[in-house]
Structure 1
Amino acid sequence: MADRTSTTQIIETLEQYEDVVSWINDTLTPTEADDTSTPLAIDLADVEHQISQLLTTLDIAAEDTSTQLERIIDDVSRGIPRLAYDLHFMKDGASTLQNALLGVLQRSRDAVPKETSDALDNLHQLDAIKGRMEASREVLREAESWSTLEHEVTSLILEKSYAKAAERLSEASRSMVVFQNTPEYDPRRTLMVNLQNQLEAALSTALVSAINAQDSNACRDYFSIFSIIQRESEFRNYYYASRRSSLISLWQNNPLFDCDPQLTSIREGALQGFADFLPKFYATFVSLLNTERTSITDIFPDPSITLSQFISSTMMSLQPTFPHRLTSYSSHYGESTLVHLISALKATEEFANGVEKIMEKIKYASSPSSGAQRQNTSEKPQTHRRRSSRMSLSLRPTQHKSLPSAIGLSKAVAGPIESMEWDQELFQPFLDFQTDFASLERRFLEHSLLEIISSDTRDKVQASDRPRLFRERAVDIFGIAEGSMGRCKAFTYGYGAVGLVQALDGFFQSFIDMWTAEVQTESNNPSSVIKNSDSDYDLSDMDYSPEDWSDIQLSLHLLSSARNVFDRLSTFETKLRAYISQVAAHFRLALNDPSSFQIAATKGESQLLEQSALNSAELHALLIGVENDSNSRDSPFSSSLRLQPPAPAPSPHPLLVKTRKSLAAFAQTCQTSTTSTILSPLRNHLAGYASTPAWSSTADPNLGVSRNDLRVPTFSLSHTETVQRVAEGLLNLPRLFEVYADDDALAFSLETLPYVESEMLQSLSEQNHDIPSQQSRRRSSIYSKPSAIDAEVVSSAWLISLGHTFLEYLTSDILPAIPSLSVTGAAQLTSDLEYLSNIVRALNVEHGALEKWRTYVSMDLDEALKLLNDGGEPDPVLSRVAKIRGWR
């Protein structure tokens, strides 16, 4: 029986819910958690047990319902045949009753004599005439009163019987409807307005005196009189203007050196600044509101609305206006105006918080029982909110990805209309600046960057100290950027996150691009000599000058600095991503529970920001993207048991895209400078290679000449001395990288090396993993996280880049400059190119243009003409070879 009662109670609770999911969540929730502020942790076994019981209960209830439904169907089936008989019986009874009533009515008429009936009809007619005559008498009496209205009201005003005069005008006003749509309406309306003006003029002096004397009783009486004559708004204007006069004078009589363009020539210490004046002004304002709190409650029936209108009218009456002073204040400080605007906004928010406390006191003072009433009415919704925050069967892991859209935050900032008027008037002047946060933040950051640059210019740092200075300045700019998130939160409460990312990205990009341009300039100027003794000892046979060694070391130090900047950038981007995640979480809390969480300092400020251009689709996409990246890396089920190792978390999408590209360009500039310095001796060897006399020699390439002028057959030609020296230089390149093998700067941003691609690096890494290596290090690239890259892979990537760069210079600049090739010269060039091809293969370099030159130079005339005349577009290398060979 107890189970049957419990089942009935559970089914009855189902009727109280519109949503089945909410009923299931509340039914499965332990009752012990209802009286606590935080939900109890639900064990999965307990949940499964409760679900089993609930399913059993629902099955029993379904069976009972089915049985009752069958019983009802049977009763209805048995009752339908008798229903037709009952309806027929009722119809016969109704007809009989109708006939009986007609008979009774006829008999009653016959019982009354005709004289009595005529008398009753006359009485009815006389009563109607009497009612109409009384109504006409009232209308005539009202019309007659208008003839004496002006005299009566004027007399009452002279006698200072203002209440009676107001009552008389009120009665006349109610009778105006009699003259509606008649020629008498307009004259009487004019008379009414004139008399009301006379009464208002007579009351104004006494009213102002009562307001200044803070006589609440007199003011309340005057308010009643103004309400009777429908001049309530005029009374409020009198009251507001009188009570705010001291505050208006304080605003007008304090010149501010940073808000008045005419006072810019005055020394700043001689006048007060806006940042110092505004808190004092707000403190005086709060003191006035605390004074008015009691008076307004005694005088007006709606003190909250009245105080809100008083604040709004006071802010609108300021001269110069608050927006005008704020604009002048912003213009005065120029590039650094953002921090000054934040201080003004904070002062305004502190004032708004003080006003909200006063508003709360007014609500309790105006309705003493409202507090208990609100407590009683809010008890049930609060309990429901706690229940809804517990584990829900309808919650899915993907639901956290749906962030409120650009319009979805309106519910989070909804509030009473009376509390939205005054604070919107306060924060409206800041809205344009908040919308322009990206520009203000960028200007502030650029101003800070220019100050740092100016100090660098004055110091005139040597080129050898540039890497150190680059790292030091990176510390400075990231320190400046650390405050950007705080400024975004303080000024826009996260709505300016898109502008924040744009400003930071542009700021870092400007800094790195400046250094990239400086490195490009420095690479064209001679640097100071910094010789490395180890290099001189190990590579003394290489053709590098002390300046070359200095340039190589400088470029590597700059690459190392770039890697340091990249590490700082990654750390900063992590902080930026965490801040944006906090903004998204705050927005979600404000959407789900607007009564407990609000975005800005007040509801009015939150509504202004929510309705501004800052709440855009770009902001929505940014918050969604950062949340998705965060959730993919920090899964709530990361601590669960797994049957297999988890897959690596995907790398989040970079936020500062332009900065990463600029840093890659800087690294590429340093790599290009290093490559140019390393290859400079080899290029010097090729300075006169194109003009070698051997290219125009007419000796038979297949015969040698002995000392006795005997022609000795030869099987191949030796390569030239120039190619020999170039080959030795290329073979010495691996030794160069052995010296710098411990320098991690070489591994930074390998993808930006000339002629090196990501697929090539992947292939080199796979090949290197097949061969055990005794020395491996963790290295990083500009686009990815640090990964294990062996030193051999780094050396191979650099050697491939150097080989391709050198061969590109050879095939693009040197070989096309050969004026002509004889048969002997072609044979010699073929020998040189074959030798170079073998050398570069040892460096794991395959160069298609070099192979084309070697193939086409060694080609005979018939084969070349066949290729040239095949009807297609000839290869550019073949065309050039044909020209210098004289085939065309």
Structure 2
Amino acid sequence: MSLTATDPLESLEDYEDLTSWINDVLTPSSNEDSTQGSVENLSHLDQQIVHLIASLDIACEDTSTLLERIIDDVSRGVPRLTYDLHFIKDGTLSLQTALNFVRENSRDTIPKATNDALEELKRLDTIKGHMEAAREVLREAESWSTLEMEVASLLTVQNYAKAASRLSEANRSMVVFQNTPEYDPRRNLLINLQNQLEASLSSALVAAINEQDLNTCRNYFSIFSNIQREQEFRNYYNGSRKASLVTLWKEASLVDCDTPDVSSAQRQTFSEFLTKFYTAMLSLLNQERNSIPAIFPDPELSLSSLISSTFASLHPTFPQRLGSLFTHYGDSAFIELIKIFHQTEEFAGSVDKTMQKMTFTAASPASEGVHDTSQQTPVGPSHPGHSRRRSMRMSVSLRSGSNRSSSGMIPKISKTADALEWEQELFQPFLEFQVDYGTLERRFLDDSLRGIISSDASDRSSTHDQARMIKERAIDIFSAAEQSLTRYTAFTHGYGALGLVQALDGFLKSFVDMWTADVSYSSTSERSMHTSGDLSGLDYTAEDWMKFQTTLHLLGSARNIFERMMSFEVRLRSELSQTAVKFKLYHGDPTSFPMTPCKGVGQLLDQSTLNSVELHALLERFDSDVRHIGEPLLLTEARSAVFEFARACQISLETTIGSPLRKSLDSYASSSWMIQSDAKPKTSNELKVPTFSLSPSDVILRVTEGLLNLPQVFELHGDDDALAFSLHTLPNVDPEILKSIPEQSTTIPEVVPQTTHPRRQSFIAPNIKPLPIDPETVSSAWLSSIGQSLLAHLTSDVLPQIKRLTTTGTAQLSSDLSYLSNVARSLNLEHGQLEKWKEYVEMDDVTGLSKISSMGTSDSDYVLEQVARMRGWH
């Protein structure tokens, strides 16, 4: 409703919802420039709100004034109301007295003879009515006494129309015997006579139907209608017309269904046979397009009944043969199922066109006046011998006693009821599979995954080819995922969106997890290479160098998978956005914007469990009218799997790079200088002379030299995209370094629990390609991670293995830790545990014992406890 500035308050009473009224009143002005238009719209909206508030204030004051005036008027009028009611009561009593007086006077004005004559006429009229009623009852009784004889004689001379008319009259007279002892015997007699008439007509009716004698069939339909056996006529007609199709279905020899063994030349697939079956059925329906309007008064409903009856009579049933496909094909039967569903939709479309053509046939001048419905009566219950399974889905059954007009015409039945029953019967077998679409899609994708990787089973143990195989297989994997978008639309028309996302997420996660499990943390290369000069000073073996290259390529494959996943997610998001638009238009105008090409499919899907709250919540995230923070993330499990794969590669790469340094530390805890005795025994009077300029041990010198030479490892690979990928999953990386990385480079927050970056809580659009990162930042992140991991290994695994420290050993360890701490700080490696070890080792015995004694029983300091054990402070 469009509102002007002069009538907003007048229109308020036309609205039931206050929010709708406010939205219609506050209409922003249009402007071509989006930025300028937004400012002007807000200014205009602010003016409207101020004006509306002022108008409402004035209206409230006016209303309050008027209400007070009305209350005053009512207050003054209430005391007079009692007097008015008393006055009315007195007037009523006076009028009643006057009427009684007039009535008495009017009786006196009529002569007694005239009054007696009028009473006599009234009595005679009553007697006449009773006599006529008695006459009708006697006539009915006489009619029922000769009914059986009359009908039998009419059947003998094959005057079926007269017999039907006689039975119709008897049926109408049954109301006379309602609630009397005579009702049940007469009802049983009527049914027996109707059965005799039907039995007499059945063979001739079947012959007329087979010969397509339309005039005879039309006359027989009128007869069956007169005896309340219209449904039985339809059963005869449908049974005769569908017989060839039922036989064709039953005798079909199918390769992929439960059929007897026949020669290979005679066997065919179910989809191939279904094409022939649908063609034969369409041929029959095209014949019936001209025949049914000449026989039945409701051709559209009658053709629908024929189709439904045909599919209900098939044996094996349609659902049984669909189920046999999965027994034969396994998980790949999903493709056959979709093909058959598409064939069925095309068949339904052809049937719909046939019905549309039939409406013109029924409305043609040649068909006018064909049906004489003046003697038609309600349709009776179906004959037990010809009963048909009726659909319980949204259909209005033809029952006896259905509402009919006074002229006896059969009412027009809505197309959304029985006229659509054939579509319900046709597509019902697919509904169970559509509801399980997500499971079927996932099983098919997993089957495709097994087929894709089956050729790699013997090569996956060869790590030098894994990176290439991952990239090659990723092409096939995402191609299979692309095909699922077509299947989802073709089979569920958008209702399976939730199952699609879950199936794709699990499928891609399974693919990535397989390679994550194959990543080995140890050198497994059997090839021999010369040691690269770029790694001089770190004592890398040829196997270490090969493992470095192999793992780096695997990390590049993780990046490749991630970029493909982002591109695919853009396509998936686009597909779901289109589905969201379709749903929105459908709910706004289902007639103009149907969800499916066939109404029966749409109604079944709309009433199924697929149309859930979760589905609409998913599609609402893609509603362009609803603002969201960032783009909705879909393949969350698959993304997490990619980052887990990247982390596994990073750990393996770090292990390879740091392996020479770790090997150097293996013997550090068992060094002889740690436990050797002091040169001189201590005496209480001996002066302790401190030792200065104690050099670091050879092990620490090698370790620090290796740390200082680590940048050489990344000189040739610092700008490699693989090293720059998923830096937030690097173990023990310095959070300060991650802060300098562009927000879009990590895409998904808190994927790996070990990540401590405080800025990972914001989501960004996954369809944006990660921004390039400065190679120096990449090298710094890796050096930080490797250095921190090495220091963590030293403080957590190596140093606690030292059993005892002498005075000399303590001085050496203090020198080593001080030197290592200085080198670490020069490399921006701040490690709290290393500083603790350095601090506690440098303590003298008095300070150490004092610190130990000052600790409470509930306090715990692992490093101090270890140093106290080594120094003998306990």
Equivalence for 1:170: 168
Equivalence for 1:663: 642
Q: Shift in Å at residue 359 of structure 1?
A: 2.1
5 Å matches for 1:778-789?
A: 786-789=770-773
For 1:432, the aligned partner's letter is: E
Q: Shift in Å at residue 432 of structure 1?
A: 0.8
Counterpart CA distance in 2 for 1:428 and 1:447 is 27
For residue 692 of structure 2, the aligned residue among 715, 720, 741 is: 715
> What is the SS of the residue equivalent to 1:787?
coil
Report the count of equivalent residues.
770
Identity %: 53
**Alignment TM-score, normalising by the size of structure 2:** 0.80
Query: 2:668–2:699: 8 Å Cα contact kept in structure 1?
Result: yes
User: 2:564 aligned with 1:585, yes or no?
Assistant: no
Equivalence for 1:841: 825
Query: 1:208–1:238: 8 Å Cα contact kept in structure 2?
Result: yes
Equivalence for 1:814: 798
5 Å matches for 1:560-579?
A: 560-579=556-575
Q: 1:701 to 1:324 in 2, by over 3 A?
A: farther
For residue 695 of structure 1, the aligned residue among 674, 699, 717 is: 674
Counterpart CA distance in 1 for 2:465 and 2:486 is 33
For 1:276, the aligned partner's letter is: E
For 1:815, the aligned partner's letter is: L
Equivalence for 1:526: 525
5 Å matches for 1:672-687?
A: 672-687=651-666
Q: Deviations over 1:231-256 (max 9, x none)?
A: 11111111110111111111111121
> What is the SS of the residue equivalent to 2:457?
helix
Q: Deviations over 1:397-452 (max 9, x none)?
A: xxxxxxxxxxxxxxxxx972134311111111101111111111111111111111
For 2:856, the aligned partner's letter is: G
User: 2:185 aligned with 1:187, yes or no?
Assistant: yes
For 2:732, the aligned partner's letter is: Y
User: 2:254 aligned with 1:256, yes or no?
Assistant: yes
User: 2:160 aligned with 1:158, yes or no?
Assistant: no
For 2:336, the aligned partner's letter is: H
Q: Shift in Å at residue 154 of structure 1?
A: 0.5
5 Å matches for 1:436-585?
A: 436-458=436-458, 462-520=462-520, 523-529=522-528, 536-585=532-581
Counterpart CA distance in 1 for 2:566 and 2:128 is 96
Equivalence for 2:317: 321
Counterpart CA distance in 1 for 2:86 and 2:677 is 137
Q: Shift in Å at residue 365 of structure 1?
A: 3.7
Query: 1:749–1:782: 8 Å Cα contact kept in structure 2?
Result: no
Q: Shift in Å at residue 752 of structure 1?
A: 0.7
5 Å matches for 1:325-340?
A: 325-340=321-336
Larger helix proportion of the pair: 1
Equivalence for 1:760: 736
Q: Structure with the greater relative contact order (CA < 8 A, sep ≥ 6): 1 or 2?
A: 1
Query: 2:289–2:361: 8 Å Cα contact kept in structure 1?
Result: no
Q: Shift in Å at residue 763 of structure 1?
A: 3.8
Counterpart CA distance in 2 for 1:253 and 1:12 is 74
> What is the SS of the residue equivalent to 1:544?
coil
Equivalence for 2:394: none
Q: 1:656 to 1:527 in 2, by over 3 A?
A: farther
Counterpart CA distance in 1 for 2:863 and 2:485 is 57
Query: 1:701–1:827: 8 Å Cα contact kept in structure 2?
Result: no
Counterpart CA distance in 2 for 1:159 and 1:456 is 85
Q: Deviations over 1:643-678 (max 9, x none)?
A: xxxxxxx54232111111111111111111110111
For residue 137 of structure 2, the aligned residue among 136, 139, 142 is: 139
Query: 2:253–2:266: 8 Å Cα contact kept in structure 1?
Result: no
Q: Shift in Å at residue 368 of structure 1?
A: 6.4
Q: Deviations over 1:278-314 (max 9, x none)?
A: 1211111111111112221111111111111211111
Equivalence for 2:779: 795
5 Å matches for 1:216-365?
A: 216-260=214-258, 263=261, 270-365=266-361
Counterpart CA distance in 1 for 2:424 and 2:538 is 75
**Which structure 1 segments of 5+ residues have no match?**
1-5, 29-43, 81-85, 370-413, 634-649, 704-710, 767-776
Q: Shift in Å at residue 886 of structure 1?
A: 2.5
Q: Shift in Å at residue 689 of structure 1?
A: 1.4
Q: 1:789 to 1:97 in 2, by over 3 A?
A: same
Query: 2:338–2:491: 8 Å Cα contact kept in structure 1?
Result: yes
Query: 1:751–1:781: 8 Å Cα contact kept in structure 2?
Result: no
Counterpart CA distance in 1 for 2:134 and 2:352 is 56
Q: 1:458 to 1:788 in 2, by over 3 A?
A: closer
Equivalence for 2:411: none
Q: 1:574 to 1:876 in 2, by over 3 A?
A: same
- 589-598 or 650-659: bigger deviation: 650-659
User: 2:800 aligned with 1:824, yes or no?
Assistant: no
Q: Deviations over 1:519-572 (max 9, x none)?
A: 227x4523534568xxx3444343112221111111111111111111111000
Q: 1:448 to 1:465 in 2, by over 3 A?
A: same
User: 2:858 aligned with 1:882, yes or no?
Assistant: no
Query: 2:293–2:361: 8 Å Cα contact kept in structure 1?
Result: yes
For 2:346, the aligned partner's letter is: E
Query: 1:747–1:781: 8 Å Cα contact kept in structure 2?
Result: no
**Which structure 2 segments of 5+ residues have no match?**
28-39, 78-83, 366-413, 683-687, 750-763
Counterpart CA distance in 1 for 2:308 and 2:229 is 20
Q: Shift in Å at residue 848 of structure 1?
A: 1.8
Counterpart CA distance in 1 for 2:862 and 2:12 is 85
Equivalence for 2:393: none
Q: 1:495 to 1:564 in 2, by over 3 A?
A: same
User: 2:717 aligned with 1:733, yes or no?
Assistant: no
> What is the SS of the residue equivalent to 1:626?
coil
- 167-176 or 826-835: bigger deviation: 167-176
Counterpart CA distance in 2 for 1:483 and 1:349 is 20
Q: Shift in Å at residue 317 of structure 1?
A: 0.6
Q: 1:806 to 1:168 in 2, by over 3 A?
A: same
Q: Shift in Å at residue 841 of structure 1?
A: 1.1
- 557-566 or 540-549: bigger deviation: 540-549
Query: 1:685–1:726: 8 Å Cα contact kept in structure 2?
Result: yes
Counterpart CA distance in 2 for 1:496 and 1:712 is 83
User: 2:871 aligned with 1:871, yes or no?
Assistant: no
- 870-879 or 142-151: bigger deviation: 870-879
CA RMSD of aligned residues (A): 4.2
For 2:511, the aligned partner's letter is: F
Query: 1:807–1:847: 8 Å Cα contact kept in structure 2?
Result: yes
Counterpart CA distance in 2 for 1:789 and 1:10 is 58
5 Å matches for 1:585-624?
A: 585-624=581-620
For 2:471, the aligned partner's letter is: R
> What is the SS of the residue equivalent to 2:773?
strand
Q: 1:851 to 1:449 in 2, by over 3 A?
A: same
Counterpart CA distance in 2 for 1:721 and 1:9 is 94
> What is the SS of the residue equivalent to 1:613?
coil
Equivalence for 2:632: 653
Q: Shift in Å at residue 861 of structure 1?
A: 2.3
> What is the SS of the residue equivalent to 1:272?
coil
Q: Deviations over 1:242-277 (max 9, x none)?
A: 1111111111111212111654xx676640110101
Equivalence for 2:202: 204
